[in-house]
Homo-oligomer: A and B are copies of this chain.
Amino acid sequence: MTVSPDPSDPHNVITELEVHDVRFPTSRHRDGSDAMNPFPDYSAAYLVLHTSSGEKGYGLVFTSGRGNGLQAAAIKELEPLVCGTSIDAAIADTAELSARVTNDGQLRWLGPQKGAIHMAAGAVVNAVWDLAARRAGKPLWQLLSELSPEQLVGLVDFRYLRDALTEDEALALLRAAEPGKAERTARLLAEGHPAYTTTPGWLGYDDDKLQRLCKEAVADGFGMIKLKVGADPAEDVRRLGLARAAVGSDVPIGIDANQVWGVAEAIEWVGRLGEFDPYWIEEPTSPDDILGHAAVRKAVSPIKVVTGEQCQNVIMFKQLLQADAIDAVQLDACRVGGVNELVAIILLAAKFGVPVCPHAGGVGLCELVQHFAMFDYVAVAGSWDDHYLEYVDHLHEHFVEPVVIENGRYVAPRVPGGGAEMKLDSIAEFTYPDGPAWRDETLEALHAEPSFSAP
């Protein structure tokens, strides 16, 4: 398929995918440290989508440091597939755009629908939606929520989904959610979206910091907190005990193993932590192990099992739901193929009656993913029961419109767009390897040292 500019409007086409390799040296303080990722440098492969009219759209892929340049190159690889495309046409048919960047007959070999090339597709699709929301003068959550059920179903590629969710079923559940949308929108704007925080629980923090941050989180109004586990069982018992003592028995505490266990090990380890009443175990094993998650869930019930931040696409989420493997869908705004695939995942979760509890943190993930949680509340699930949106207080200062948290809830954004736009000063300061933040030799030495978690 050849993409030709619209001859009726030759000046209004996508002209460039400008990409930046932006990295923050977070490994210095072990912010974001967990059992699988001991020294992350939170990073963004950052995309500015240019059009000939001067309109811009913003997207990004969060990464963990090394590989961020490769991820930026993956986005750039998609430039020939979209440059010259009328932006009006792209907005009018985002399903076609999504298919084009996802199903290219040559590029798809690097996926398909997974890894760097799929996350790149997601950044491009999200940037087009960001531009669309800016043009509409609406935040993305509102733009999506105001689409009709038919329009929303039209966003989704059902090819691999129909054994779990058909177009008609999706239409029916969206229509059933129509009544009450106005009231829910008003409530969302008035109260904000419920959240939980992972701020207290990184593995690298000492006991005092852990307990202090736990208490602060509850005082700040968060409905739940989360601790990283999985590096050492005795330490986990001790740290979870400290956290439980700090917050009392009524606050749900999630625990997150970041994939370090096999199935039997997960069951045994979580069992040892059961006395502290963990609310959920997140990523007990490989994100690819659907049947493994199902086995863990059966064994550790009533402790919930959740995953999703590294769930590569909607086909995997479909199976996690079909196999009764998870109690919450932790979708990530930058892992899959962008808005269209995220809508598909949200619809599937609704079909199976499983709450969406998005993954956030990193760089810009809070800014992006809040839109999907809010859309889900207003237009799909229609409820906040068991719906928690993750919050981590890192790196928001680098975004033009950082998230706002009040009383432990996300304040619904009112400014147009999808949230990915970064400040020009931040991009300049943290561009790798030539930005001023990376000229410090200590940082460079730290960054150059590979780290890995032995099996």
> A450 to B115, Cβ gap below 8 A?
no
> B115 to A287, Cβ gap below 8 A?
no
**For A3, A161, A450, which residue has the most chain B Cβ atoms within 10 angstroms?**
A450
| A264, B2: Cα distance in complex, Å | 31
> A64 to B288, Cβ gap below 8 A?
no
| A383, B331: Cα distance in complex, Å | 45
Within the complex, what minimum Cβ distance (angstroms) separates A257 from chain B? Answer: 12
Kindly report how many copies of this chain are found in the complex they form together.
2
Q: Is A322 an interface residue (CB 8 A)?
A: yes
- Which of A126-134, A289-297, A417-425, A434-442 is found at the contact surface with chain B? A289-297
Q: Is A211 an interface residue (CB 8 A)?
A: no
Q: Given A262-B160, A288-B315, A448-B80, check contact A455 B99 (CB 8 Å).
A: yes
Contact residues of A: prevailing secondary structure: loop
For window 158-203 of chain A, which residues contact chain B by CB distance below 8 Å?
Answer: 158-163
Within the complex, what minimum Cβ distance (angstroms) separates A95 from chain B? Answer: 8
Within the complex, what minimum Cβ distance (angstroms) separates A48 from chain B? Answer: 20
> B163 to A100, Cβ gap below 8 A?
no
Residues of B within 8 A of A160 (CB): 262-263, 285-286, 289, 292
Q: Per-residue 0/1 for A103-123: is the Cβ within 8 Å of any B Cβ (1 yes, 0 no)?
A: 111111111111111110000
> A67 to B106, Cβ gap below 8 A?
yes
Chain A residues within 8 Å of chain B by Cβ, number:
80
- Which of A12-20, A33-41, A405-413 is found at the contact surface with chain B? A33-41
| A157, B319: Cα distance in complex, Å | 25
Q: Given A63-B110, A64-B109, A105-B40, check contact A312 B288 (CB 8 Å).
A: yes
Q: Given A41-B106, A70-B77, A100-B452, check contact A117 B115 (CB 8 Å).
A: yes
Within the complex, what minimum Cβ distance (angstroms) separates A240 from chain B? Answer: 23
Residues of B within 8 A of A312 (CB): 114, 288
| A63, B77: Cα distance in complex, Å | 14
| A103, B316: Cα distance in complex, Å | 21
> A81 to B115, Cβ gap below 8 A?
no
Question: What are 14 A-B pairs at a CB distance below 8 A?
Answer: A63-B110, A64-B105, A66-B77, A66-B106, A67-B106, A80-B448, A99-B454, A105-B453, A115-B117, A158-B455, A160-B263, A288-B315, A288-B316, A291-B319
